[in-house]
Amino acid sequence: MTSGQRAGLARAITLVESARAEHRAKASALVQELMPRTGGAIRIGITGVPGVGKSTLIDALGMMLIEAGHRVAVLAIDPSSTRTGGAILGDKTRMARLANSPDAFIRPSPSAGSLGGVTARTREALLLVEAAGYSVVIVETVGVGQSEVAVAEMVDTFVALMLPGAGDELQGIKKGLIERADIIAVNKADGSARDAARQAAAELLSAVKILASDPPPEVLTMSAATGDGLDLLWRTIDTHRNGLEASGALAARRRAQGVIWMRDMVADGLRHYLAQHAGDAVKAMEAAVADGTLAPSAAAASILETLP
Ligand code: GDP
């Protein structure tokens, strides 16, 4: 892809990220028009706590895939960016090799609006990069409950990165991550941490057998830094997705995701409408509920009555 085409793609994503009404209308029309050219990419989600090695992995995996002939786009959903306006994820300096590759496109998390808004923008960006011909899309997020659900709901294969030791295995169980993850990869299985990583993987494996969704996630160890196990991770992603495709589950999963997307957008649109047209009434009801003078159900009914 030429730098001009990449700049065009970046502008299109800026359009879908805009909250202005006239931009929203144009963005929806653009996404609708491009729909027939979307859906062709392998959509991968990657989550994990800060420091687990997400950007190191995405840099290494991305370069491996580019060498195999893929074009790779990286998008990020950063729940903290809605508060700080900063972009911790999808940071180009943390993916140095990919950032310099003409076959990669990296987009940091949109920073405006609620998590729901950020999620909606990222879903549209995902379709735009697919229409632009990227064959692999990686959506990155930090290990925080809601953003993980959001990413799991827009990808084909969801990978949870874990640290060896540090009680991380148990954290994963608590968060219900095991039920959502398709693959659990214990990273930093190198040097003196190799045994701890194997141990963590063994514990996770027995945990997934007990808690298992059906089918349970694959568990493996790897090192994003040395590249050990990267190949196995890719084969596991590929096998998972091929399995979904062969059984028809991929199409079903994507259709269900489309419906979830639509519902999220309706809820988001309603919130937006109410903020614009009934902002004072909403604030008054919130105050009444907060000081206990009005039941939440009555307050909600009264807000809904303001809808045309
Ligand atoms: P992120 O916050 O999840 O994106 O984590 P980073 O990719 O920025 O990695 C955090 C730190 O861990 C960096 O200093 C990396 O060099 C280091 N790191 C990442 N992957 C590995 C690995 O596989 N082995 C080791 N030993 N260090 C790693």
Cβ partners under 8 Å of residue 119, min gap 6: 77, 147, 150, 154, 264
Write the CA distances from 86 to 51, 91, 100, 110, 141, integer angstroms: 17, 10, 22, 9, 14
pLDDT of residue 77: 85
Contact 89, 57 (CB under 8 A): no
**From the CB of 279, is ligand 1 less than 6 Å away?**
no
pLDDT of residue 171: 54
Ligand 1 centroid from CA 141, angstroms: 15
Query: Does an H or E element contain 45, and which?
Result: strand 42-48
Write the single-letter amino acid at 176: G
Write the single-letter amino acid at 166: A
CATH class, 38-247 region: alpha beta
CA distance 42 to 18: 26
Other CB atoms within a 10 A radius of the CB of residue 127 amount to: 20
Nearest-atom number in ligand 1 for the CA of 50 is 2
Nearest CA among 203, 28, 134 for reference residue 184: 203
**From the CB of 55, is ligand 1 less than 6 Å away?**
yes
Contact 40, 126 (CB under 8 A): no
Per-residue tens of pLDDT for the chain, all 308 residues? 677 788 899 999 999 888 788 888 899 899 999 999 999 999 999 998 888 999 999 999 999 999 999 999 999 887 776 555 444 555 657 788 999 999 999 988 776 667 777 888 899 999 999 999 999 999 999 876 788 888 999 999 999 999 887 555 555 555 577 778 999 999 999 999 999 999 989 888 888 887 766 788 999 999 999 999 999 999 999 999 999 999 999 999 999 999 998 998 888 888 888 888 888 989 999 999 999 999 999 999 999 998 88
Contact 47, 160 (CB under 8 A): yes
Sheet containing 42-48: which strands, arranged edge to edge?
Answer: 104-107, 72-77, 136-142, 42-48, 157-162, 183-186, 218-221
Backbone angles phi, psi at 192, to 5 degrees: -75, -10
Chain centroid to CA 196:
28
Contact 234, 61 (CB under 8 A): yes
Write the CA distances from 122 to 14, 139, 157, 284, integer angstroms: 11, 9, 17, 33
Q: Which tokens sit at 35? A: 């729909």
CA neighbours within 13 Å on the CB side: how many for 33? 8
Residue with tokens 């039920």: 179
**From the CB of 46, is ligand 1 less than 6 Å away?**
no
- Which of 49, 52, 55, 56 to mutate for ligand 1's pocket (most ligand atoms within 8 Å of CB)? 56
The protein residue with its alpha carbon nearest to ligand 1, atom 7, reads 53
